[in-house]
A and B are shown apart, each in its own frame.
Chain A
């Protein structure tokens, strides 16, 4: 499965465009992480727990998007976009979407 955020695959010919596919997930970190992040807010710096949270969520969202693409018979997803938002305090939502295609 090829996943890319450009609109074509160099050196390959796209034979079929199968429509939009998407993957989303909402995740939360346990309260210890939230407390650590609250403390970190005082001194600044990277919130490792939340970086991890977002990385996990992004991977999950892409996995689900790819699962949708596979389910409709595509072998590549083009023009992938991500959108992130915090739905509730401490819970992050990650959404990935793109166009499923068949490339040769």
Chain B
């Protein structure tokens, strides 16, 4: 009985705070994406001749996001039934855009105008721990071009 109540309390806390955090994060991502729109970002390997400058540098941004209790619970339920795990989709979307934004911030700090050959890597850093609540790491990296 006590366990059931504890689970319910954790679910409510996870849902309320998780949703607030997610909404706030998405708002901030959208705002910062609009601010950094001028920094061009491509995943093409070939930098066009007319843009080329001798000053290039590697930039990267990474983020680790944790799942809240509510999402985790929904995802484990979903795991029994199969199908799209929408709780994790929004988590990963957030993580990925945040990583790219951090990479862009680094590029902007160095005075770059464009980033090329952008790659994104995801890894989960909770594997093997049965009780542990999951966390994902996303890393974005690319070559920033600084005009001289």
Contacts and interface: CB of A to CB of B under 8 A. Distances in A.
Interface residues of A, number: 32
Interface stretch (B16-24, B52-60, B86-94): B86-94
A91 B121 contact: no
Given A87-B134, A93-B122, A95-B120, A24 B42 contact: no
Given A88-B76, A91-B79, A81 B43 contact: yes
A95 B123 CA distance: 12
Interface string B3-39: 0000000000000000000000000000000000000
A51 to B, nearest CB: 15
Nearest to A22: B96
Interface string B126-147: 0100000010100000000000
Interface string B99-126: 0100000000000000000111111100
B82 A33 contact: yes
Given A19-B42, A97-B120, A26 B84 contact: yes
Contacts of B41: 19-20
